[in-house]
Amino acid sequence: MIALCNQFNFDSFGSCMDEFFQSSDGDVATQVLQFANVSGSDGQYICAKVINKSCPQPTAIKLDLTHYFSKPKPPNARAPPPSGRKSVRVLHLSDFHLDPRYDNGAEADCSQFLCCRDGSVKTSSPNKTVIPAPRWGAFFCDTPYDLAGSVMQAVPELAGVDGSFEWGIFTGDLISHDNDNALGRAYTEYEEVAVFSMIKQIVGSVPVYATLGNHDGWPQAFNTPINLGPSFVGGQFSWNYEHVSSLWEKFDWIDSASQNFAKVHYGAYSMVTKFGLKVISFNTDFWYNDNWFNFVDTENPDISGQFRFIADELQDAEDNHQRVWIIGHVPPGWDGFSALPNPSNLFFQIVTRYSPHVIAEIFFGHNHEDEFAIFYANNATNITVENALMTQWISPSITPLSNLNSGFRAYDVDPVTFNIIDAYTWFSNVTAFEAINNQTKGGAPFEFEYSAREAYGGGINWPTGAPLNATFWHHVTEQWEANPALVETFTAFQGKLSTQTRNCTSSACTTSKICYARSGSQPISALCPFGSEFGSVQ
């Protein structure tokens, strides 16, 4: 693998030795090549995703859903009307990426990955530190403990109602962005304990429903379907599912039945809150394109069985008149950069089957940016306000990496319908961290950024008390079409008001962001005319 990487210049983190050494990703690569059908679709995906896009990525297969749903969608399925009751406050944290190796004063603009570390160097200035890393964080670095402490102090004071929440969600990624050869099982378990313990400290007895991100394991992003080869192959990552699920149970975030399920089902579980809301958490690594095990049996959209699990849980909720939140990490839509076609297409069909009468909201993280994407009926073949069914909320990150401010979010939620009435985001200005480097009291300051209802609802005269549902967000994209300057407002929020955010003033960028916002799966976003070129502000 190392020789092939050097010969053909594979995409790799660091050197080919760093990427494909046995204690890094070489062991996984050889397993994938053993089990994959390299002369068929599997080989096409490997060629497209690993070998510098040398082949075109296969398009989505035609799904056979004849026997996938046990019952047809009820006629005239509708979301319940707003209850009119006082909303409850819900916390949303995502993409923590704690870096316990962060070194104050180290090079923050280094020429290698990850910066703000002992030994970080800028090649053009090897004997002088160009930008010393402030104690609170930097644009090319992950979250130092000092910034983590500032977040933990700010969250209940700024985002809570009287300092508290009714529940919280965490949409993945605890671990720093190191190459796999600089990580390990003990390091991963340490970070999982550290971050979840900090969150537990600020929420107290309030449950937080968490999901696994692509950086929440080792080697990162890799998860095997349990039926892949001998048990020691299919179960090689079970240690992590057992570890995180035991933490969730220890902190009273899930019960023992959910923990027993999660530890043998890739960290996935469902829980019913005291309000009656069902929360379904699943492992999105099974559509993430950096999970090389997804290149085995690529024509099967559900190699893990997770989407069967989600559909069954939603059917149970429909039968029992329950409302559902779904939480994951890697979004299936937006610019479609991270998700594979077949599983994200299957998820899209599941969402359209059970929306909007069962599913109330869907949440992801991963992109580190503030984004949303809409699911439409009939595979989005007719993108109209009448066909807008469901929204995926893509949360901003706590880590500043890369070129972003640090941020977090909270929602006002209808306690009966469980739809979001408003969303609030706070941020901390990374550009100002150097100036407060020597302060002796207080942490990195966080300030209010915006209310989604106020920022986007004025132009469409959205009714008071009506949820910020897919209809609302479709109207927002119509406003963008009528007045492209409004896309610049969204773009500023996308980067959490970072001074490094790329603007969006060209017609190509505006067209792309409208297209991304209307793309609920990878096959749909793949139709956007400029690809993923304008998907990120980083």
Residues contributing to the annotated binding site? 95, 97, 173, 214, 329, 366, 368
- How far is 317 from 352, CA to CA, in rounded Å? 15
Q: Answer whether 175's CB lies under 8 Å from 183's CB.
A: yes
Provide the annotated binding site for Zn(2+). 95, 97, 173, 214, 329, 366, 368
Residue with tokens 């009751």: 85
Q: How long is the chain?
A: 538
- How far is 321 from 308, CA to CA, in rounded Å? 20
Residue 90 tokens, joined? 């819900």
CB-based contacts of 481-487 (< 8 A; 24+ apart in sequence): 481/514, 483/459, 484/510, 486/459, 487/513, 487/514
Cα 398 to chain centroid distance, Å, stands at 12
Please report, in angstroms and rounded to a whole number, the separation of the first and last CA atoms in the chain.
31
CA atoms within 13 A of residue 186's CA, in its CB half-sphere: 1
How many helical (H) and strand (E) elements, i.e. helices and strands, does the chain have?
16, 12
Coil, strand or helix at 261: helix
H/E stretch holding 93 reads: strand 88-93
Sign of the four-CA dihedral 12, 13, 18, 23: negative
Q: Parallel, antiparallel, or unpaired for β 269-272 and 208-210?
A: unpaired
- How far is 424 from 14, CA to CA, in rounded Å? 38
Whose CA is closest to 330, among 356, 362, 296, 355? 362
- What is the SS3 string spanning 127-157? CCCCCECCCCCCCCCCECHHHHHHHHHHHHH
Residue by residue, DSSP assigns 472-483 as HHHHHHHHHHH-
H/E stretch holding 412 reads: strand 406-413
Q: Answer whether 354's CB lies under 8 Å from 364's CB.
A: no
- φ/ψ (deg, to 5) at 257: -65, -45
Coil, strand or helix at 233: helix
Across 368-380, b (16+ Cβ under 10 Å) vs e yields bbbbbbbbbbeeb
Greatest pairwise CA separation for the chain in angstroms: 70
Q: Answer whether 270's CB lies under 8 Å from 279's CB.
A: yes
- How far is 362 from 326, CA to CA, in rounded Å? 5
